[in-house]
Structures are given as C-alpha cells and as structure tokens.
Structure 1
C-alpha cells in the first residue's frame, strides 16, 4: 500500500496542494484526473523521487517498492537497431546472456567457486523476474495489443502510437509494485487506444494513470483521484459513477446555495432597516441589534458553499471570423501525394466548403499530420485555397506554433489584440489569470500549451481552422468547452482527431485514410464502424440517451427546478446501470 497523508507543496510562483491525502492499494487501477496545470505530473514526480522535493506531510511507501513509469513525451531512439521483441525483453535477454557468459567461462576457468556464486545470483534474479516464461509473456502482450506482426520490426520503424504501446508492455513485463503512466493515450489512433485499454485491464498490479481520455476513463478504472483547486478527492468506483456522484452533489449544493442566498438577502433587508432606524434613534439597544445582525451576516458570507470538485470553471473558447465566406469551396486538394522512405499518400482528392466541419482520420503513421502541415504552409501544387480564405493552424508539435522562451503575454503581442490590458482580459477566458501570464511557455503543462494554442487560433479570427489533435492533453472540461466552440463556429474546420467523442459530436463528415488514399464517410457510418469495434451493440444508443438526460438536468438546474432535476437524476441512474 502507498499512503499520502496531509501533503502540501508549492512552487515559488504557485501553490499546488493543501493537505491532500489518499491511498493506493493492491489491485486498484486508479485514474488521476483534474484540470490542466493542477499539478498531476508534479505529484507523480514526488511519488517517484520524494527526496527531490521539500513538501509538508507524509508519504508512506515501502523502500523496496518498485515503480514502472511511462512518460507522456517518450520517443524511440531512431539510431538503435533493436527489434520490438529485443526492446521489450531487454532486461531478460541481458541476464540470459550473462548466464550464458558465466557458463562459457566455467568451461575454462579454475575459479569455479566464485563463478558458481555469480551463476546462482543471476539464476535467482532471472527466476524473480519470471524469466522462464518471458518469451511467452511478451507474445501474450503483443497478441493482446494486436501487434504480434510487429515483433521482429525495428523499434525505430514504429509509429509513435505503436512505440507507446511497446513501452507500456516493457514496463508491465517487469511486474513493478506500482505502475505509473502519464497520459499514455495521447495521439493514439482508435485501434491502438483499444489495445491500450486491453493492456491496462490485463495488468494485475497497482496502476496510477493520468488521463483525460473519456473512452479509457469509462472502461479501465476502479478508483478515481481528482485534483482540483489545491484539494484532492478520492473515490472508489468507476468514472461514470463518480460523475454521477458529482452531479448529485452539485444539485444538493445548488439547493443549499440558493437557500443561503435567500437568507443573506433577508438579513440584508433587516440590516438596512436597522441602519435607517439608527439614523434617528440612537438608543444603545438599536446599535447592539445592528451590530449583531452585521456579525450574523458576516458568518453567513463565510459559510457560503465552496465546491472545488463540482464548480469547476470551464474556459470560454470561442472561434469567430473577420470575414465570413459565402457558400463556396474554401479548400481544394487535387491529386496530392507524399512519400518519405516509402509512399504514404497518393491520388488524394477532396474539397471542403466554407461551413464544412471535417475530421481527418487514419491509423498512426499514415500521413495525416504531413498533409495538414502542407495545407497550412500552402507550398504544394495540389493544394488550392479560396482567395478570401484566412487560415489558422494548431499543431500537435506545440513548439511549432509556440516559442518556449516567450512568456504567455509576449506570445500574444502580435496576435491582433491592441493593449496589454486587452491581452490579459482575453487570456483570462482561457484560464490564464493573474501573474501566470508572465510565466515562460516552457514551464507550462502539455494541456496548458494546447490551451494557449487554442487561444491563438481563436484570436486569429480565421475562416478555416486546421486543428491537429486539438483535444490532446486537454482535461475533460476543456474538451467539452472545445466541442461547444466547434458547434457554434460558422467557418470551415479540418481536424485530425483520435477522440471519437469530439468527432461524432462536432463533425459533419469524415475523410478517412484507407490504402494510401482518402475517401469520404458519413458520421453515421463512421460511428457504426467505431462502435462495432469497441462497444457492445446497445452501448451507443444508451450513451446517447444518457447525454440527453444530462442536458435535461442542466436545464432544470438553470431554472432552479430541483424537483424536476432529481426526477431526471433517477432516470440517469438507471441508464448508468446499463452502461
């Protein structure tokens, strides 16, 4: 068991945690969630190397506890010739070779005794790692992730998504006491995401996974850690049940808040009346009554409900346009092709109209990002824009569009905003408030950098948005705000995404890469294809009903009709049981 008790920690410019506590126990698969920049990755660093940090509180962990770790930023070493099998089994092969080397040495050496001792130590280490079955265990994991065909491929030839899965397998194979993964799902295509789900669900040890991916959250975890506004809440159960619990709490708190507000208003009227009386009647008793009422009002104000987990401030994302195009073609791609070491795309033809919202879909490594980048740079004969098109681009390689050495404020000096006050006011909508605007971009989390890119895209007032994995690193609250912004936008969007919630909720149709070219697919057909691969037959219909009921609850709460909201909550509970 790992136990954190009343832990507090702050950087010089920002307080992260205030007396947070939680435990991780055998068999728990724990999702670690929270808004971008709330300190999830820092808490992981503290767990992995507590000696590096000066924190208050206690961290109890067996000193022999082994930790496996998969970073969100891992990349394969392109210079190595290692195969997938050799990479996953590196530690096993190393000991296996050591045992073989000792055996060879014993054939000619006279110092048999010391060699026998080394031989036994190596055998014990190999046995402790379940070495006899390591080849079989690697094959099982490769089969689970549908990557058996890549077993003898060089690691340097893998796509980024495939390498992430291989890394997960490598860490799991060493059977650590605690396995930590920081956003392992980022940029994974649908098939690789499903493979990651299978790997997570097959793991027997303690898992702590930072993720904002709604598919994984709904299907992989039996415990939640939610970090928000310096506080942490732990919940034993599924993500879908945790959200339901938050919704119930939200209704109760809003009911209490309205009752408190009414009480404060009534008391304010009494104070006003007492002050009016005190102006012409100076009796001591009148003054005491007024003082007593003012103190009572102060107590009511300090008692106001504070809800860090149900009252999360969503960013205000809004895409506007300087110049709206009439119903016309904004982008035309004709007979496009691209090749590097091998042919990626050929004979690609499509057009996008001025109000089309289009998802560009395909497996990892099929050329989506290359195509989108070339469209943005507009340096290919096959790519043609409308003369009045104004293009904005969000890159999955955040350093491509953001300068790390800039402060947040400096990044927006040429973004079309007139004054520093205007920039500050604009950035506050995207969650960058106060002194954080003077922070260097290199110090921001992945989610904060993507948020900054969205703010720049929005400020451009473009009528064609090219978005490459815009939901990556974003917390679920920001993902939903982005979906709303896309729904309200009147221009054209071409978006690469592996988050099928964003695709089915916001796109008009899909361009899917298939056999090195692109074909058009309706959202209805795409949804059917994806859900057939990932869900039970009735899952989609039930999930859509769930979303409709949640919308009804939000409307009821907006109208402060708590009786109706609770009726819908009962209906929602029944749907959640089906999911």
Structure 2
C-alpha cells in the first residue's frame, strides 16, 4: 500500500536520508528502529503529509489508504468532559446521534422523502464502520487492555499510561488501513506495556511502530525497518531473527575485512619496494609497474568493506566520580508521605547505601517521580542526605534539566566547562559531533535530549545518581551502553524505570510501591514475579544463555577467531528457536 523509492531528504544542518527505499504491505506489523536523531519521526511526518516536504525520490501511497496516528506525546483536551467509552466511540456515537435526530425529525415532518434519503446515507455510513457491534467491540478492546473498569471514568481522570492505551484503542477502533505509532511505549509501566503488546498483536491491520522497547521488539512485529547512517535496511521476520542476521553478517564482513586489510598491507609493501627500485633505476617499465600497482591499491581502498548496519556507533557513557564514600547510608527516607487530590504514598521508609543500585517500581501515577524530585531538592523533613553526597538528577521532563533555547555548547558552558573545544571533545563520546553541537536543544529528538542529560549527569562526577526513566526515547544500543555504565559506576543509583531489561541487568534490588507504601524486594524474587505474569516458562534462562553466547561471539571476533565465532552462531541459532 505504501512504496518509497530512492528518497533523499535533508535539513540545512543535517542530511537524514540518502536514496532510501522500502515498502509497507497489508497485514504487516512493522517495527521502525534506528539510533536517536536518525530521522524516524521526520520520515513518519513525510508519510503522513508529503506535501509539506521537499524531498527527492518517489513516494507512492494507495489513494484509498487511510492513516491513523498515535503521537509519542499525549495530547488531551482538558475542557471536554468525556468518558472513556465516549472518547473511543466518538465517531460511532456522532452518527448514532445523527440517525436518532433524523428519526425524531421524521415524526413531525410533512416532507419525509429527503429525510429518508438522509437517514439511509447515515445508516450506510454506520454499517460501513461496523457500527452495529461497536459497543461490544469497544468492550473487547478495553478488556484486552485490562481497562474495562475505566469504561465510565472521565478521560481526564486517567493516568498518563492509561490515556496512551485509550488513544491506541481509539485509533485501532477507527480501522485505518495503516496505523502509525511513534514510541507509544514511552513511560508505560509494565502492566500497561503488556496491554499494549496484546493490542498490537491482536490488530488485524497494517502497523508501523517506532519503538526502542526491547520487550515489544522481542514479542511483536513480523517486519523490521532499520534506519541507520542515512540508509534503510528491510527485514521480513522477527526482531530477534534480525539481530541474529546482523551478527551473522558481522562475522562474514569482519572475516573479509581482515583478509582485505592483509591484502592492502601486502600491496603497500610491494609499492614501497617498487618506489625504492624506481629511485635507483630510471627504466620506463619500472615506472609503469609502480603506476599500475598504485592504481590497483586505490581500487582496493575504494572497495574496502562498509557495514553501516553491523557496526553501529554506541555512545561511550561513563559515570565518573569525584568523591567515593565508604559503605555508609547516603539517602535516608523516614515516614515520607505525599498526596495531591488523594494520598499517593504514606509511611514510606527506606535507606540507600553508598554503592546500592536500586530501582523504584510502581504503576503510572503512584508518586515515584514526586519522591525522586524531592530527594533531589532535599528540602523535605522526611528525607535526609549524607553531607558528603553530591547528587545528579536526570528528569523524565527533559525541559526541567535542559534549557530549550540554549545551544548544546551553551548548555555545557552553563554546566561548568571552560572552552568550546573541551565540550566538543567530551560530547564526541556521546555521538554529538560536527555542526549538531551548535543546534538549539529544542531541535533535538527525545532520544538525543536524554543522551544529553546522561552526558550532563556524567560530567557532574556525582556519587549519587537519581535517574527518572533514563531509557525513555533511547535506542536499544544506547540502552545497552547505559546498562554497562550503571554496572561500572562506583556510587549509588536510585532509578525509576519501567524497562524490565534495564532493571534486571543493572539493579541490586527493587523498591516496590504496594498499597501506597514501599517495600524492598530482592532481584531474584522480582524476576520470578515478572516472569510468572508475562513470560513463558524457562524464557529467562534461555535468554540469559543467548546473551552469554552473543558475548562469546563478540570476544571471538575481537580475537579474529572466525571459526569459533561460526561454531557459536550455530549454538545461538538453536537458542533463538526456543525463544
């Protein structure tokens, strides 16, 4: 239904696409992935409104194709007093009311013919939308998302995560030919994320979903579109199979690259010898031989293997520390309570030691962010911070810690850097190079803003890090780099996260919000709790084995032991079949 051929587009400061091509066909559930700032949201805008953009290439969209859209940013009209049911069924209720109004008018009208025609048109439109079953269909979708209990609630009374799911249900319910969702999973707690997974997997139409959620990527989608380095790669199959394909390609290309490098080195030695001979021997044949060999060398260099989809640049995140503290309590929360219209948290007690890595886990809207912000501000009677502590904070509200009107360079001058050259060198570790450092922060993608926040947190050299949804908007490669940085950090971390992978891969234990208070839970118990509810038996063990084999392959490649890498690939393939 949608075909893109050799499309190129750039902004004045940045080239986004170079001759990219892909197709979207009926019934495909497609994940759209790529590193932060690569232009995924812009490409979606082009698909939805091509007239706004001056691009080269060809974009063909079936003229009858209808497109539904769910933004990564929740937008709610607070002036409307609408229930969940009325919000989802808005189009159906509107036509239903119109039919009722025509019927009422027919009861008293003397000229009934035009009203009958109007009545029939409205009935046909209602039938075409599947209106006869719309109420039971809404109930099915709400039940699937575990939101049936919210049916008659005002939309304005929903949590942010619940409203996101209601947006998805509404768009799916309108049955567009193509439904586009831009990071619908951002900030969803695990229950709501699981509900989103069910909605995606039950949808019968065509889907294009921008997501960095490893949970969704591993459990949804039958096609992958990967945008990287201005190019696109298509893969028909699951994400887990796509990653396996990338690893296979990486082994093949690295083996070829090593052989090529050896050939180039041999050729360089021959050229150097010919030059030495030509210096002492002026025969024309010697010069011709040297010239031919140099041309051959140029051809070898020109064909040198490029692999944009297997050598993806990860930021080098590293949380340094100025003042390591001995094993002592750095944050103490004693009898903390908070509430707005209603009590959110009551009688909360916990302490964080100087090297603890802890995740706060709880549903959307249970007071986690308020608690973390008050620890950062350190002006609450129930919160005590050790005098030797230096705290750094990453906010899920990016404008809280970044000034949109600043350029990236100005932001880091404000953060204490002395020169622009020092900033440029530092930010190159985080993928910000060239002209982008002179851009305003407001022009960056959500993922780029979060990487920038991580860079500021790292530069602070703090010994206690407060991280509120640090993986939101981050691509999977940056998420993995962040997990590594968290493991290597010598201080304490208190993190709010709904990303199951980041929690189990980096935290020592979790603080679970339960019945308006907080209790400590060990990591093995937390794993068992999540897996019992959402994963098949033995999934965790198999996934851990898969990760172990992948690491062994990476080590084999580092040692250029390609035979061992190929042997491990067979082992990895068997594990992937189990997943």
Equivalent residue number for residue 209 of structure 1: 209
Counterpart CA distance in 2 for 1:295 and 1:448 is: 42
Q: Tell me, which stretches of 5 or more residues in structure 1 are unaligned?
A: none
- Native 8 Å contact 1:75 1:163 kept in 2: no
Counterpart CA distance in 2 for 1:408 and 1:552 is: 38
Cα RMSD, aligned residues only: 0.8
1:566 correspondence with 2:566: yes
Equivalent residue number for residue 477 of structure 2: 477
Note the 1:486-505 alignment, pairs <5 A: 486-505=486-505
- Native 8 Å contact 1:416 1:459 kept in 2: no
Equivalent residue number for residue 77 of structure 1: 77
How many Å apart are 1:338 and its aligned residue?
0.3
- Native 8 Å contact 1:79 1:156 kept in 2: no
Counterpart CA distance in 1 for 2:521 and 2:135 is: 41
Counterpart CA distance in 2 for 1:91 and 1:541 is: 47
How many Å apart are 1:77 and its aligned residue?
2.8
Equivalent residue of 2:430, what SS? coil
Comparing 483-492 with 62-71, which one deviates more in the overlay? 62-71
How many Å apart are 1:416 and its aligned residue?
2.9
- Native 8 Å contact 1:357 1:492 kept in 2: yes
Note the 1:50-89 alignment, pairs <5 A: 50-89=50-89
Equivalent residue number for residue 316 of structure 1: 316
How many Å apart are 1:275 and its aligned residue?
1.2
Equivalent residue number for residue 265 of structure 2: 265
Comparing 118-127 with 263-272, which one deviates more in the overlay? 118-127
Counterpart CA distance in 2 for 1:270 and 1:31 is: 49
Equivalent residue number for residue 343 of structure 1: 343
Counterpart CA distance in 2 for 1:412 and 1:527 is: 39
How many Å apart are 1:80 and its aligned residue?
2.3
Counterpart CA distance in 2 for 1:55 and 1:63 is: 20
Counterpart CA distance in 2 for 1:77 and 1:337 is: 31
Note the 1:243-282 alignment, pairs <5 A: 243-282=243-282
Note the 1:65-144 alignment, pairs <5 A: 65-144=65-144
Counterpart CA distance in 2 for 1:163 and 1:13 is: 36
Equivalent residue of 2:33, what SS? strand
Comparing 473-482 with 12-21, which one deviates more in the overlay? 12-21
Note the 1:298-317 alignment, pairs <5 A: 298-317=298-317
Equivalent residue number for residue 442 of structure 2: 442
1:522 correspondence with 2:522: yes
Equivalent residue number for residue 531 of structure 2: 531
Equivalent residue number for residue 17 of structure 2: 17
Equivalent residue of 1:320, what SS? coil
Equivalent residue number for residue 150 of structure 1: 150
Counterpart CA distance in 2 for 1:169 and 1:202 is: 11
Note the 1:282-297 alignment, pairs <5 A: 282-297=282-297
Q: How many residues align?
A: 579
Deviations 1:140-176 (Å, cap 9, x if unpaired)?
0000001111111111111100000000000000110
Equivalent residue number for residue 366 of structure 2: 366
How many Å apart are 1:488 and its aligned residue?
0.5
Aligned structure 1 segments of 4 or more residues deviating by more than 4 angstroms: none
- Native 8 Å contact 1:84 1:155 kept in 2: yes
Counterpart CA distance in 2 for 1:195 and 1:136 is: 19
How many Å apart are 1:111 and its aligned residue?
2.9
Equivalent residue number for residue 452 of structure 1: 452
- Native 8 Å contact 1:69 1:179 kept in 2: yes
Comparing 290-299 with 329-338, which one deviates more in the overlay? 290-299
Note the 1:397-416 alignment, pairs <5 A: 397-416=397-416
Equivalent residue of 1:494, what SS? strand
Counterpart CA distance in 1 for 2:291 and 2:182 is: 54
How many Å apart are 1:539 and its aligned residue?
0.6
How many Å apart are 1:252 and its aligned residue?
0.3
Counterpart CA distance in 2 for 1:378 and 1:64 is: 57
Counterpart CA distance in 1 for 2:83 and 2:69 is: 21
Counterpart CA distance in 1 for 2:346 and 2:452 is: 34
How many Å apart are 1:76 and its aligned residue?
2.6
Counterpart CA distance in 1 for 2:445 and 2:117 is: 49
How many Å apart are 1:507 and its aligned residue?
0.2
Equivalent residue of 2:320, what SS? coil
Counterpart CA distance in 2 for 1:411 and 1:345 is: 35
Counterpart CA distance in 1 for 2:489 and 2:45 is: 39
How many Å apart are 1:57 and its aligned residue?
1.3
Counterpart CA distance in 2 for 1:418 and 1:569 is: 48
Counterpart CA distance in 2 for 1:75 and 1:231 is: 32
Equivalent residue number for residue 33 of structure 1: 33
1:379 correspondence with 2:359: no
Deviations 1:279-322 (Å, cap 9, x if unpaired)?
22111111111111111111111111111100111110000111
Counterpart CA distance in 2 for 1:264 and 1:416 is: 46
Equivalent residue number for residue 226 of structure 2: 226
Counterpart CA distance in 2 for 1:280 and 1:312 is: 47
Report the TM-score when normalising by structure 1. Answer: 0.99
Counterpart CA distance in 1 for 2:493 and 2:79 is: 37
Comparing 111-120 with 16-25, which one deviates more in the overlay? 111-120
Counterpart CA distance in 1 for 2:80 and 2:511 is: 35
Deviations 1:108-161 (Å, cap 9, x if unpaired)?
222322222221111111111100101001000000001111111111111100
How many Å apart are 1:278 and its aligned residue?
1.7
Equivalent residue number for residue 199 of structure 1: 199
Counterpart CA distance in 1 for 2:525 and 2:77 is: 39
